[in-house]
Chains A and B, each alone.
Chain A
Amino acid sequence: MYFDSFDSAWWPFLFILLAGALPTAVWRWIGVLLVGNLDDSSQWLVLVRCVATALVAAVIAQLIFEPSGALATFPFYLRISAALFGFAAFLMFGRRLFVGIISAEIALLGGYALL
């Protein structure tokens, strides 16, 4: 079945629910059911947090290494060096988020202007 399989007003919305919303939400529900009565101080939660953090980190890498849209037109070395520059500034200046974000953006746009 395709997005344009049925020429009706409701089909695209059902398609969005079945192909997009359901396969995403199911993992949240499984998470709720699995965490069940797990003790809040359980060692398992440290493992779960480590895996969740590593997954988010892999998403971050994906957004820099294989971006979609306009960012993909910027050269790879500019993206990665601007990201590392921003993160280094974040670590050096009191771990403030806006320091990291503004430094990374200045490096990205500065590098783009110089190219």
Chain B
Amino acid sequence: MSQQDQSGSSSVYDWSWFAKGLAQLFSLPALILVSAFIGFGGLAREAGITLWQLVFMVPTIWALPSHLILVAGIAAGVPMLAIIPAVALAAIRMMPMTMALIPEIRMPQSKTWHLLAVSNMIAISAWMHTLQKAPEIPRAGRLPFFAGFAGVLMMSTTLAAGLVHQLAASFPVYVMAALYFLTPIYFATSSWNTSRVAAERLALILGFCLGPLFFMVVPQANILFAGLVGGFAAFGFYKFVRRGGAS
């Protein structure tokens, strides 16, 4: 028994939750993310990205802001050495996002390589949805649930973007605008509901207000600055309130 625990690391997880993650294909976040990638498929086509390049980049990069920067860079003929820092800067948020998710989904027996492998599937939608669902899922089922959900999101968005590219589907401008508009509203409402302490809701408000303000000062790094300043300020508020409540 103990031998099995040490060697058979896959038995640590409850893989029945993988199927439940897959079944979340029929969920609001999946619908919204697919809509966003319908928009991206058209954008990539206009930028001269081929079908197979598109199908390759959707799951390997797996972060819409990084996709947009790469495609815009390719379309404008920007050299690789200039695209890399722009993508890296936009993707820094992956680090705190990963650090927030991993403690929720890991098991004491989880190997680092399991976590490294599954971390490649972290992007805002699956991350947010899993954080929200985690309290209802037994710990052993959380990593499989995340892998299943993120996996089905990868497949469905790749398929959607590829189909739009292949069919050269075009939609009226107001349809595309409405599709693009789904994402920010979903992110805002979902992260409000995911928050566990008031400080996270404060961080949401601060980040939203500081992002555009920093855009006027440091347009390339405004998201990073807004995240750091807003996040630390909200945490300061959290510490202040706790100290006040304790006395």
| A→B interface (CB under 8 Å) | 1-3, 12-13, 15-35, 38, 40, 45-71, 73-74, 79, 82-83, 86-87, 90-91, 95, 97-98, 100-101, 104-105, 108-109, 112
Contacts and interface: CB of A to CB of B under 8 A. Distances in A.
Contact of B187 (A38, A59, A112): A59
A108 B175 CA distance: 11
Contact of A71 (B180, B188, B200): B180
A31 B191 contact: no
Interface in B42-70: 42-43, 50, 53, 56-57, 60-63, 65-70
B181 A28 contact: no
B235 interface: yes
12 contacts: A18-B84, A21-B60, A23-B87, A45-B99, A48-B100, A49-B196, A51-B235, A53-B234, A54-B227, A58-B208, A69-B42, A71-B176
A19 B84 contact: yes
A104 B132 CA distance: 22
A70 B222 CA distance: 23
Contact of B115 (A32, A51, A65): A32
A55 B189 contact: no
Contact of A58 (B39, B227, B234): B227
B12 interface: no
A55 to B, nearest CB: 3
SS of B interface (majority): helix
A60 B187 contact: yes
Given A58-B223, A60-B187, A104 B181 contact: yes
Q: Which 4 A-B pairs have the closest CB atoms?
A: A31-B98, A57-B207, A51-B231, A55-B227
Interface in B191-247: 191-193, 195-197, 199-200, 203-212, 214-215, 222-224, 226-232, 234-235, 238
A52 B93 contact: yes
Given A55-B227, A69-B42, 12 more contacts: A20-B87, A24-B87, A28-B95, A29-B119, A38-B103, A45-B99, A51-B232, A54-B228, A56-B97, A59-B65, A95-B192, A105-B181
B185 to A, nearest CB: 4
Size range of the chain B interface in the assembly: 35 or more
Contacts of A26: 88, 91
Contacts of A15: 74, 80
Contacts of A90: 189, 192
A52 B199 CA distance: 12
B93 A56 contact: yes
A20 B60 contact: yes
